[in-house]
Amino acid sequence: MTQALNASVDLAVCKGHGRCYMTAPEIFDCDDAGFPLVIGTATTEQQISDLQRAVNNCPEQAVSVSPAG
């Protein structure tokens, strides 16, 4: 069984590059200024893979994950 993951974004360091919502659109959206909004939990293998890619591709390392509980 896959462990679901929650995403979070540290908006104090995020520069709004958009890599997270382009990489994991089922988990992230963006606000009117281009900054990410967490809109979902990663529950499928594909979503978890996309979320991990978003974490790895954030230039500021502003995206993190934690187990959904």
- Output DSSP code: residue 26: T
In terms of pTM, does the model score above 0.85?
Answer: yes
Mean pLDDT per 10-residue segment, the chain (69 residues): 91 97 97 96 97 97 95
Q: What's the confidence (pLDDT) of residue 1? A: 63
**Total domains, the chain:** 1
For 34, the domain range is: 5-67
Measure the CA–CA gap between 2 and 30, rounded to whole angstroms.
27
Q: What's the confidence (pLDDT) of residue 2? A: 77
In single-letter form, the type of residue at position 38 comes to V
Q: The CATH number of the domain where 33 resides is what?
A: 3.30.70.20
Instruction: Give the containing element (helix H, strand E) for 5.
Output: strand 5-9
For residue range 32-49, list pLDDT tens digits in order: 999 999 999 999 999 999
